[in-house]
Amino acid sequence: MKEHDGLNDAQQIAHRGRCHLLLLPLGTAYPEYLKEIQEGDEIMW
């Protein structure tokens, strides 16, 4: 998610260990407001 890229092939993350993925229904656009969040940002609930 830190690159805000779509996952088109499992090889894109094959080298990673544990990671976070955002799953969206096919045809759903990536939410623009998420692009403002940078790696390491504190998320307030």
Tokens of 14: 């094959």
pLDDT value for 10: 87
What the block records as the tokens of 19 is 């990671």
What's the confidence (pLDDT) of residue 13? 86
Determine if the pTM surpasses 0.85: no
What pLDDT, in 10s, does the model give residues 12-40?
A: 888 888 888 888 998 999 898 888 888 88
The answer to whether residues 4 and 37 touch, using CB atoms and an 8 Å cutoff, is: no
Cα separation values, 21 from 28, 38, Å: 15, 15
Q: Name the more confident of 10 and 1.
A: 10
pLDDT for 1 equals 57
- 6 against 11, higher pLDDT: 11
User: How far apart, in whole angstroms, are the C-alpha atoms of residue 40 and residue 45?
Assistant: 15
